[in-house]
Amino acid sequence: PDPKSGLYIEDRKGVVHHVRYPPDCLAFQIGESSQVMSGGLLRATPHSVASAEGPAAKGVCRNTFAVFMQPMWNQTLDPEGAGKTTEEVGVARWEPGIDFGTFTERKLQDYY
């Protein structure tokens, strides 16, 4: 397939990397809710996927199976370890005591 196709992630310094992993492995993306609930231990990663193009794309398809795991809409997003700050958690739209619904609405406003 097209060598430019595949998963791209942005590291914490803002550098984009083309990620490759063995064919017998799975890749997982961690979302911001997991980052909040882990107190910043796990980190959400901005990412994108580039499709194959040109002759290299012939006969190649991309399949995705997305599973979104989230708390109840009114669940308070309290990270592990009491007293975590927004800076420690690393998600600007989160604040102590916020519920998942409000957090999600803020996130959607940021992107749309």
pLDDT digits (tens, 9 = 90+) for 12-32: 899 999 998 888 888 788 888
pLDDT of residue 1: 62
| pTM, two decimal places | 0.74
CA distance 63 to 21: 16
For 25-81, give the DSSP string: -------HHHHHHTTTSS----EEEEPP-GGGGTT-------------TT-B---SS
pLDDT digits (tens, 9 = 90+) for 61-92: 777 777 777 889 999 998 876 678 888 899 98
Query: Rounded mean pLDDT of the chain?
Result: 86
pLDDT of residue 105: 94
